[in-house]
């Protein structure tokens, strides 16, 4: 029984939202970041990069305190205003390809995460969880929702359609040519209908935001221990999420680039691959795999198709059948000597609609020796791994939609 609650969001005013909204901080190059900070005084980047005001890098607790100060200044200046009533926020993104994502920004339960009602499919790193928990505890707000997905639901879908027939509170287009829309849903009957439908669901799945979820759970534990009058209803018991139906989730593959062949010659490497794959040289053809357990490889100016020899590989769990795991267990670890996928500097990851061209260019330029292309993982595979309590190798999925920070803010 999933607890998904409305909340009183802090939001930019309608005239400022397009200026406030920002991508994830890590996605900007240094030049992009400086340009936005120089020429847009309303960008949310000023809040999360408070040292820019003093022309220096500030880290740790000092930075957290300054983030809180910048945030309070935005509220004092009327750039941010908190809604008076709890609401669900219907959020729609139409990307430049015309694909539409529609969902609900709401407060999800930390207890549900702890009790595995909200399930994960990726491992988290403990020190990163604790760093972000300390950050949240100091600043007192969260501006980037966790992406959760749920089975397509007819009742919720009809309510979303009904609300979207009205004029949106926010409508803005980014320089990426994605158009964002937001509607506020306060009607008590519709709020109850949505809440009741989520309560009927046994499981929700994290699509993106595993560290944010884990950190929010740690924060809830911390603040609960410090509050003698804890009731379980306090805002810190929940974390902001964007919930979208499974049919709206878009999953892209993460491809792999490796810097060397682990001391092997090209010929010796291909002979070792032949033990587990049927190999065909495709020459200069940009070969992109279309079936599970098929891979593309670019090596020494040629593309190859690799088809798994299933007679030599065992499928015992949902993880065993995952292509990123297959590549790891058959090639990256035993042949190329890469056991630590998170920290080994010999491997890098890339994604994109034209990523095979990117792989070819990087190998041709000598930055990498070999590249591998994969088929995107499906929502069914992601759920099966979460249901079995397993976790995917790092960089198994690149998932859309990606929301902008600062459009809705959750205070606790």
DSSP assignment of 296-320, as one string?
EEEETTEEEEEEE-GGGS---STTT
In contact, 166 and 222? CB cutoff 8 Å: no
**Does residue 54 register a pLDDT over 80?**
no
Q: Does residue 299 share a domain with residue 191?
A: no
pLDDT of residue 274: 97
Whole-prediction pTM value? Answer: 0.91
From CA 144, how far away is CA 24, in angstroms rounded? Answer: 8
Q: Are residues 338 and 235 in the same domain?
A: no
Question: What total of structural domains would you count in the chain?
Answer: 2
Question: What confidence score (pLDDT) does residue 52 get?
Answer: 83
Q: Are residues 284 and 375 in the same domain?
A: yes
| 290 shares a domain with 258 | yes
Residues 6+ apart with CB under 8 A from 221: none
Q: 377, 292 in Cβ contact below 8 A? A: no
CATH number at residue 334: 3.30.1760
**pLDDT mean over 43-59:** 86
Distances (CA, A) of 259 to 245, 267, 331, 351, 368: 39, 17, 14, 17, 4
Percent share of the chain, pLDDT over 90: 86
Structure tokens at 68: 């809180």
Whether 205 and 259 map to the same domain: the answer is: no
pLDDT of residue 55: 76
Of the candidates 42, 35, 41, 39, which has an alpha carbon nearest to the alpha carbon of residue 16?
A: 42
- 19 and 32 in a single domain? The answer is yes
Band of residue 87 on the pLDDT scale cut at 50, 70, 90: very high
Name 215's Cβ contacts closer than 8 Å, sequence gap at least 6: 128, 129, 130, 132, 133, 135, 136
Q: Is the pLDDT of residue 241 over 90?
A: yes
What pLDDT was estimated at residue 361? 95
The confidence score (pLDDT) of residue 240 equals 98
The string of pLDDT tens digits covering residues 215-233 is: 999 999 999 999 999 999 9
Answer whether 175's CB lies under 8 Å from 18's CB. no
Please say if the pLDDT value at position 3 is more than 80: yes
**pLDDT confidence of residue 212:** 94
- Shared domain check, 352 and 233: no
Nearest to 299 by CA among 272, 328, 348, 266: 266
Coil/strand/helix, residue 90 = strand
Question: Where in the sequence is the domain holding 135, given as residue range(s)?
Answer: 4-250+400-411
Contacts of 202 (CB under 8 A, 6+ apart): 1, 2, 117
Count of CB atoms situated within 10 Å of the CB of 79: 22
Query: Are both 211 and 341 inside the same structural domain?
Result: no
Q: 212 near 127, Cβ under 8 Å? A: no
pLDDT one-digit tens code per residue, 138-156: 999 999 999 999 999 999 9
Distance CA 300, CA 288 (A): 17
Cβ burial 10-22 (10 Å sphere, 16+ → b, else e) = bbbeeebbbbbbb
pLDDT in tens, 365-411: 999 999 999 999 999 999 999 999 999 998 898 899 988 999 999 99
Percentage of the residues of the chain whose pLDDT score is greater than 70: 99
pLDDT band at 352 (very low <50, low <70, confident <90, very high): low
Structure tokens at 47: 């809040």
Residues 144/239, Cβ–Cβ less than 8 Å: no
Query: Which of 11, 134, 137, 132 has its CA nearest to residue 74?
Result: 11
Task: State yes or no: pLDDT of 9 exceeds 80.
Answer: yes
Q: What is the pLDDT of residues 257-307, one digit of tens each?
A: 999 999 999 999 999 999 999 999 999 989 999 999 999 999 999 999 999
pLDDT at residue 30 in the model: 87
3-state helix, strand, coil in the chain (%, to 5): 35, 25, 40
pLDDT recorded at residue 176: 84
Evaluate if residue 56 carries a pLDDT over 80. no
The 8-class DSSP code of residue 332 comes to I
Closest Cα partner for 276 from 338, 347, 329, 319? 329
Check residue 96 and give its pLDDT.
87
Whole-number mean pLDDT of the chain? 95
Burial of residue 164 (CB within 10 Å: 0-12, 13-18, 19+) is middle
pLDDT-based confidence at residue 354 (cuts at 50, 70, 90):
low
240/143 same-domain check = yes
Work out whether strand 238-245 and strand 146-150 pair parallel, antiparallel, or are unpaired.
Answer: parallel
Residues 160 and 224 grouped into a single domain = yes
133 plus 276 within the same structural domain: no
Query: Are 44 and 183 contained in the same domain?
Result: yes
Strands 10-12 and 118-119: unpaired
Dump pLDDT digits (tens) for 182-217: 999 999 999 999 999 999 999 999 999 999 999 999
């Amino acid at each position: 029984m999933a607890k998904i609650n409305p909340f009183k969001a802090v939001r930019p005013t309608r005239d400022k939202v397009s200026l406030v909204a920002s991508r994830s901080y890590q996605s900007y190059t240094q030049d992009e970041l400086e340009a936005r900070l120089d020429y847009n005084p309303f960008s949310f980047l000023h809040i999360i990069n408070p040292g820019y005001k003093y022309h220096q890098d500030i880290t740790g607790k000092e930075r957290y305190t300054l983030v809180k100060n910048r945030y309070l200044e935005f509220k004092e200046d009327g750039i941010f205003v908190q809604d008076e009533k709890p609401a669900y926020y219907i959020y729609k993104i139409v990307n430049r390809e015309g694909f539409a994502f529609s969902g609900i920004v709401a407060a999800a339960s930390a207890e549900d995460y702890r009790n595995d009602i909200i399930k994960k499919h990726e491992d988290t790193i403990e020190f990163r969880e604790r760093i972000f928990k300390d950050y949240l505890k100091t600043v007192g707000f969260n501006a980037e929702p966790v992406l959760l997905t749920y089975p397509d639901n007819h009742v919720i879908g009809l309510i979303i359609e009904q609300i979207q027939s009205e004029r949106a509170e926010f409508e803005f287009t980014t320089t990426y040519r994605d158009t964002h829309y937001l509607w506020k849903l306060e009607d008590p009957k519709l709020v109850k209908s949505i809440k009741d439908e989520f309560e009927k669901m046994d499981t929700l799945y994290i699509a993106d935001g595993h560290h944010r979820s884990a950190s929010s759970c740690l924060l809830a534990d911390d603040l609960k221990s410090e509050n003698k009058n804890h009731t379980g209803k306090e805002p810190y018991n929940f974390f902001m999420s964007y919930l979208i139906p499974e049919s709206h989730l878009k999953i892209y593959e993460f491809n792999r680039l490796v810097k060397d062949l682990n001391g092997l010659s090209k010929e010796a490497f291909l002979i070792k691959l032949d033990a587990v794959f049927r190999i065909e040289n495709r020459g200069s053809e940009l070969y992109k795999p279309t079936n599970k357990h098929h891979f593309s490889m670019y090596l020494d100016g040629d593309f190859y198709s690799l088809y798994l020899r299933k007679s030599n590989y065992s499928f015992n769990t949902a993880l065993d059948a995952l292509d990123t795991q297959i590549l790891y267990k058959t090639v990256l670890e035993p042949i190329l000597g890469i056991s630590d996928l998170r920290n080994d500097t010999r491997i890098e990851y890339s994604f994109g609609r034209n990523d095979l061209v990117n792989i070819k260019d990087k190998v041709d330029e000598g930055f990498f020796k070999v590249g591998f292309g994969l088929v995107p993982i499906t929502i069914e595979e992601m759920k099966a791994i979460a249901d079995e309590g397993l976790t995917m190798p790092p960089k198994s999925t690149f998932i859309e939609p990606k929301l902008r920070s600062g459009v809705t803010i959750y205070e606790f």
